[in-house]
Amino acid sequence: ADRRILTGEKIVVEIGNLKIGTNHPPVYIAGPCSVESKEQIMETALTLKEIGVDILRGGVFKPRTSPYAFQGLGVEGLEYLKEAGEAAGLPIVTELMDEGHMDIVAEYADIIQIGSRNMFNYSLLKTIGSLNKPILLKRGMCATIEEWIMAAEYIAVHGNKNIILCERGIRGYDNYTRNTLDLAAVPIMKKETGLPIIVDPSHGTGIRELVEPMSKAALACGADGLMIEVHPNPPCALSDGHQSLTFEEYRQLRRNK
Ligand code: PEP
Ligand code: MN
């Protein structure tokens, strides 16, 4: 447990011309929780590009709490996401849920997201460690700092140090918010691992009105970027509508940064 590849020496992750990490401007990752249709993701990509965004997000393999909830469009969604990213000139990030989809996700996505539920999936972490592809490693919702560091080590020790950490809130006793956003983790993880770290205030709070204030707080404590859920029509979203910003709210957030 004492051996570490990630020593705290600063690592900058590059996606094309974009650089994520210490001494680089914060990156903005935005998009819907789920890719829902070709039109939805295309409209979102083009609008976000016009407002200002660096990377387009969209889930196609969705880790839903209920098996009866929308599970994502799968490979079809991956194609829509890719087309939208290309049309807007934006790199894309999407979640990989299982090893069986690794090759196709790696082929389409510029960054592979490992979700909160899979941070403890050591077999998946080992497998993606052998990829030459940036990884967005979200914090497990019940993961300690030490466990999160070790999850990153699993990826790094297999050869891949292109890791971006993402604080997305942890489970506490208070369910007023969906999760408790642990912003103290931001300077801690930067110091301990040297990796870039971004904050996801959407899942971190679960409440649309809290996304902007917690975005400001995240940048104030040194986050290297933000990941924000934005939807063309949040009340009709197939997942996470209550925490998704409208385009206008996202525009406001960018203006007030
Ligand atoms: C997501 O970003 O779409 C997501 C499912 O987040 P998390 O894994 O943090 O719950
Ligand atoms: Mn979501």
132 Cβ contact list (under 8 Å, min separation 6): 160, 162
Query: Whose structure tokens read 């829509």?
Result: 80
3-class DSSP state of 164:
strand
The CB of 63 under 6 Å from ligand 1? The reply is yes
Rounded to the nearest angstrom, the distance between the alpha carbon of 36 and the centre of ligand 1 is 16
The CB of 59 under 6 Å from ligand 1? The reply is yes
In this structure, what token pair is assigned to residue 241?
A: 């509508």
Which domains are present in the chain?
13-255 (3.20.20.70)
Contact present, 12 and 197 (Cβ < 8 Å):
no
What integer pLDDT is reported at residue 228 of this predicted model?
A: 98
What integer pLDDT is reported at residue 3 of this predicted model?
A: 85
Look at residues 3, 109, 15 and name the one whose alpha carbon lies nearest to residue 59.
109
- Nearest ligand atom owner, CA of 240: 2
Please tell me the distance from the alpha carbon of residue 201 to that of residue 188, in angstroms, as a whole number.
18
What integer pLDDT is reported at residue 1 of this predicted model?
A: 55
Q: Where are the beta strands (DSSP E) in 68-139?
A: 92-95, 111-114, 135-138
Contact present, 211 and 13 (Cβ < 8 Å):
no
pLDDT in tens, the chain (257 residues): 568 999 999 999 999 999 999 999 999 999 999 999 999 999 999 999 999 999 999 999 999 999 999 999 999 999 999 999 999 999 999 999 999 999 999 999 999 999 999 999 999 999 999 999 999 999 999 999 999 999 999 999 999 999 999 999 999 999 999 999 999 999 999 999 999 999 999 999 999 999 999 999 999 999 999 999 999 999 999 999 999 999 999 999 999 97
In this structure, what token pair is assigned to residue 22?
A: 């210490």
- Nearest ligand atom owner, CA of 169: 1
Type of residue numbered 208: R
Look at residues 89, 83, 191, 180 and name the one whose alpha carbon lies nearest to residue 139.
180
What was the ipTM of the complex prediction? 0.99
Please tell me the distance from the alpha carbon of residue 85 to that of residue 81, in angstroms, as a whole number.
6
Rounded to the nearest angstrom, the distance between the alpha carbon of 115 and the centre of ligand 1 is 5
The DSSP call for residue 140 is: P
DSSP of 210-244: HHHHHHHHHHHTT-SEEEEEB-SSGGG-SS-GGGP
